[in-house]
């Protein structure tokens, strides 16, 4: 039968990945209410926001206020693409910082205006400085399966990048299917190898659900020994620089599946749906996840 973990950690990325692509500015108070409701649902690890250029991603321009006004519960990440982002994150009091790089050069260039190698070189002292200050460092690896510009990505390039991040001091790798193209065999194979070759790092899977393959990919990753998943309440999300990327796999649907499998997450599906209800009026995309639909129809 299947080999499954007893516990899984959900890393909620809705306030960051979920909202970064929204064209209309979501008000700071509404973001904070969403974050508070997610914390109330039992979420203990969350990406709050990004310290990126407000010219590139205007939606994240309120990053400082979001960090300062969020109650400290568990591990709260802020994204930082470079030294300036890390500096701003530290100044706001962030304790956990997520750096991000694409395996694919073309994607990295569009996303952070540098080649992958230039980004890695620039991040080396940034990570060293964060580690020296006792900060938990998460490294997000985009286009780990497919790239919107280069197509299929060679897993050996992903593994090499992951090893480089670990050598640089990263505590966690969040390995992403940015445009939701991976299949369960690819998911299993990559995560199994990463688990074997990098057994001492926190390993997290980040699936966008563009082709509705994310749940199958999560089940495959569970078999490979992954017990940390990035998910987004309401299935919100997408990277502005990855054409074709839609939302992340929905927190409420993943937690429901894990609940039915007897895997503990500490997260309450109904309360996640209530949090989705808090943000739903402020986002442009219709929310159509399985569990939220049941919740709206009073069937949960
Ligand atoms: P650049 O234009 O090359 O930056 O952009 P620069 O270093 O030349 O600086 C230009 C200006 O930006 C300067 O200001 C800098 O001070 C400022 P000016 O002198 O013109 O007034 N600047 C900054 N301001 C605020 N925060 C900063 C920062 N850095 C420079 N950190 C840059 C390079 C990286 C800044 C830009 O490309 C950028 O902000 N990109 C962010 C892209 C992004 O947020 N993408 C989405 C997140 S990643 C994602 O979603 C994928 C993930 O979910 C996993 C997956 O699904 O694949 C994680
Ligand atoms: Mg993403």
pLDDT single digits (tens) 182-195: 999 999 999 999 99
How many angstroms separate the CA atoms of 31 and 68, rounded?
13
Q: How far apart are CA 286 and CA 284, in angstroms?
A: 7
Residue 111: pLDDT band with limits 50, 70, 90: very high
Instruction: Name the residue among 97, 43, 99, 47 with its Cα closest to residue 74.
Output: 43
- Mean pLDDT, the chain, rounded, equals 97
Q: What is the pLDDT of residue 73?
A: 93
Could you tell me the pLDDT band of residue 238, with boundaries at 50, 70 and 90? Answer: confident
CATH class label, 9-296? alpha beta
Give the integer Cα–Cα distance in Å for 149 and 153: 11
DSSP-based three-state secondary structure for 187 = helix
Over residues 8-49, the pLDDT tens digits come to: 999 999 999 999 999 899 999 999 999 999 999 999 999 999
Cβ proximity of 96 and 140 under 8 Å: no
pLDDT at 164 over 90: yes
Query: What pLDDT is recorded for position 41?
Result: 98
* Minimum CA distance residue for ligand 1 atom 12: 53
> Residues lining ligand 1, judged by CB closer than 6 Å?
17, 20, 50-53, 56-57, 79, 81-82, 84-85, 88, 100, 111-113, 140, 142, 176, 178, 206, 208, 239, 241
Residue 240: pLDDT band with limits 50, 70, 90: confident
pLDDT number for residue 64: 98
Question: Does the annotation mark 162 as catalytic?
Answer: no
pLDDT in tens, 195-219: 999 999 999 999 999 999 999 999 9
């Amino acid at each position: 039968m299947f080999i499954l973990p007893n516990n899984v950690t959900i890393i909620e990325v809705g306030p960051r990945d979920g909202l970064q692509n929204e064209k209309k500015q979501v008000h700071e108070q509404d973001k904070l209410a969403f974050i508070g409701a997610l914390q109330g649902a039992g979420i203990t690890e969350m990406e709050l926001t990004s310290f990126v250029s407000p010219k590139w991603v205007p939606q994240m321009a309120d990053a400082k206020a979001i960090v300062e006004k969020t109650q400290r519960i568990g591990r709260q990440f802020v994204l930082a693409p470079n030294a300036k982002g890390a500096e701003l994150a530290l100044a706001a009091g962030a304790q956990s910082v997520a750096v991000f790089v694409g395996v694919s050069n073309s994607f990295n260039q569009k996303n952070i205006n540098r080649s992958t190698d230039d980004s890695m070189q620039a991040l080396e002292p940034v990570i060293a400085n964060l580690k020296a200050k006792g900060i938990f460092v998460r490294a997000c690896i985009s286009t780990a399966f497919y790239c919107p510009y280069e197509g299929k990505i060679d897993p050996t390039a992903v593994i090499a990048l992951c090893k480089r991040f670990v050598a640089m001091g990263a505590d966690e790798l969040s390995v992403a299917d940015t445009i939701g193209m991976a299949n369960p065999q690819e998911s299993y194979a990559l995560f199994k190898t990463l688990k074997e070759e990098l057994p001492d790092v926190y390993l997290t899977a980040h699936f966008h659900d563009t082709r509705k393959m994310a749940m199958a990919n999560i089940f495959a990753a569970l078999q490979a020994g992954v017990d940390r998943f990035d998910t987004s309440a309401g299935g919100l999300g997408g990277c502005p620089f990855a054409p074709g990327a839609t939302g992340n796999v929905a927190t409420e649907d993943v937690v429901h599946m894990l609940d039915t499998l007897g895997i503990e997450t500490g997260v309450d599906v109904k309360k996640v749906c209530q949090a989705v209800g808090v943000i739903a009026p402020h986002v442009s995309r219709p929310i159509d996840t399985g569990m939220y639909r049941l919740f709206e129809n009073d069937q949960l």
